[in-house]
Amino acid sequence: MKYFKIFIFCFFISSFLNGERILVIFKNLPKNLETKNLIKKNEKYKFIVLDSDVESAKELFPDAISVCKEPKVKAFYDPNDTYFSYQWSLSEKHYNLSYILDSKVDGDGVRIGILDTGCAYEDFSIPSNESSLVTSTDGKYHKFSDFDNINFILPYDFVNDENHPNDMNGHGTAVTSVIASHINNSFATAGIVSSPTVLVLRVLDEKGEGNLTDIVDAIEYGVANGCKVLNLSLGGPAGDSTGWTPLHQAIINARNNGVAVVCASGNEGVGQLSYPAGFEEAISCGAVDYNFTRTYYSQYGTNLDFVAPGGVVYQDNNGDGDYDGGILAPMIEITDSLANVSNFYLYWLEGTSFSTPHLSSLFALMFSIGYNLEEIVDIFISNALDLGNSGYDSEYGYGYVKPDYIFKQDILTKSINYSSLSNLITFSFFIKNDSIIIDSFKLKSLFKDEILNYQKDGKIYTIDLSVEKSGIYNLTLYGKKDGTPFLQEKSFGLKNVLDNSTFIFGGDMTLSSNNSFLLFDDSNSIKIKTDSKVKITKYSNESERLKVFSNDVEIPVIRYEDRVEFYVDKDSYLRFFISNEKYEVFKNTKTFLLKDKELNWTGEEYFIFDRSGRIVEKGISKKVSFKNLPYGIYFLKGKDILWKIVKLF
């Protein structure tokens, strides 16, 4: 067995700055901003970067929201000095690459942005300003041979502000290989995405370090140029988000544009995530070893979403006496002095840097068959292998996403679209199993029982439904699998705009809205299609512990002894979890059968709601009058009080 030793290396670089990079964030960017020390200006997120010091910048901009040293980020990996000749993370037990290939899901057409140290993606003469940072036998950067299948487009170097983001460190090349190395070519290692399109976005220098605002620029660049997945195997110190607001805003913008920003949780092994993984809108990824156990270095805590193979180099997976627990990946040759960009070797590596591209790959595969971001997140949560405590926990998040779990269905619901104006519902199904033949689709409810027309485009079947009345509907697909009849059902609820009644669902939840909405129950989540505000009441004996997540982000709720109340105003995937933490609840809840036209009150502000959740009256008084309200059921709410009022006259 041959061993290669990797050293943690640093280079001294003369600084062209007299001071430090100071990040100044404004509520409104000053007009006619002129300063000789200006490095960067961003009008969208209202910040500048100066060559200065904190105190001078504060004096120069006294009205700024924040003035601080620009946060630094670094690559999350731990180079080690042993390697072995196979990839356990792609075995049947884990990411099951054979299953992915058999499923014929290849990631074709999905743009993946890799924000890292660059990549060995081209043969290119080393520029003079980089010649002292690397060594080469012929004065050139070289493309790694196992990347010949990758469609590299629109590369950019945000460190040097030019178009050739070649790798002077090796980290970005290794991360890229996990996602996109050529499969079935009898050379080196295999990636996960067999038809990859990659944007190399260099945001980290030859030491694996970089500036926060370069990452902001790279995210904006990736979103503007059509990336659906952005891989960030990098981050800052655990739990510290000081000065990170511009990056948070960029991630929010990316998510709102349907882009998955997949971030490494960090390598400090503590119960707090590093940022940007710690932001709710990011998709955060921790690391597990061969045995599905959280690795010693993997950070965990609030907002951790998933875990994936990150490896432990000094671990013997199969008991043969050799260390083979890391992630096998290529890097440029690391020497005692400069990195040699002419030579490539395979190394055993470990870190959340390498769990993250595993998860990014699955996002790319799912995007390629037509799912949108929130649908993918919902599928991952619903089908993840549950590790640690039952349900969501801060050590493993929602769990470990296995390809054979998310692709196991013969028929995948590709998309569901709903127009509240026309009450038109469009279902799209992807037939993954070639042995399935579709015969018909049928819609059934109290109001309808009919065979539906459909359109076929290859393996995709599309159905348009025009549903007018509120109610529960059942859509059934009939067909044959290997010649044997089978069926698949999907139930959904529709609340029509003309129906003002409260919608009762599942016996423990009510929904009300002035407009229409569409509702699905997939056992693990409640899916709502709406473009207007919907009030939701979830009844539970553990309301003080109940947490509600919408699209993987916890949302605020009002808690009462027997329920929680909250609102959604856009398409949402809802999940409910019982937390170990207790929260305050409104305990003063009563039901009154109104005998008089007025009720004695506390003198504080009050609100009267009707059954749909609409405020019908409010005020501040020691008496609350109902004399102008018709008979019916109302809710009287104060700061710590909620009364149900039944008016019969």
Give the tens place of pLDDT for each residue, 64-94: 999 988 888 777 654 332 333 578 999 889 9
**DSSP alpha helices (H): ranges in 479-597?**
none
Q: Distance (Å, rounded) from C-alpha 328 to C-alpha 35?
A: 48
pLDDT beyond 60 at 12: no
Active-site option among 116, 205, 214, 552: 116
Position 609 scores a pLDDT of 79
52 is catalytic: no
Residue 366 near residue 373, CB atoms below 8 Å: no
171 is catalytic: yes
Residue 96 near residue 90, CB atoms below 8 Å: yes
Active-site option among 94, 142, 164, 171: 171
Read off the pLDDT band of 579 (50, 70, 90). confident
Position 80 scores a pLDDT of 37
Residue 106, phi then psi, degrees to nearest 5: -120, -5
User: One-letter amino acid identity for 619?
Assistant: G
Position 228 scores a pLDDT of 98
Query: Quick one: which of 532, 429, 548 has its CA closest to 489?
Result: 429
Position 492 scores a pLDDT of 82
Q: Distance (Å, rounded) from C-alpha 164 to C-alpha 162?
A: 6
Q: Distance (Å, rounded) from C-alpha 38 to C-alpha 110?
A: 37
Regarding the domain delimited by 74-93+107-366, which CATH topology (the fold level of the hierarchy) does it fall under? Rossmann fold (3.40.50)
Position 222 scores a pLDDT of 98
Mean pLDDT of 628-646: 78
Position 141 scores a pLDDT of 96
Mean pLDDT of 483-511: 79
Residue with tokens 């065979």: 451
Give the tens place of pLDDT for each residue, 446-483: 667 889 899 998 888 999 888 777 777 888 999 888 77
Higher-pLDDT residue of 196 and 641 is 196
439 is catalytic: no
pLDDT beyond 90 at 304: yes
The model's pTM is: 0.75
Give the tens place of pLDDT for each residue, 21-69: 899 999 888 887 777 788 898 989 999 999 888 888 898 888 899 998 8
Query: Quick one: which of 115, 368, 150 has its CA closest to 220?
Result: 115
Lowest mean pLDDT among 98-102, 349-353, 393-397, 579-583: 579-583
Position 114 scores a pLDDT of 98
Residue 221, phi then psi, degrees to nearest 5: -65, -45
Cα within 13 Å of Cα(154), Cβ side: 16
Active-site option among 181, 353, 525, 550: 353
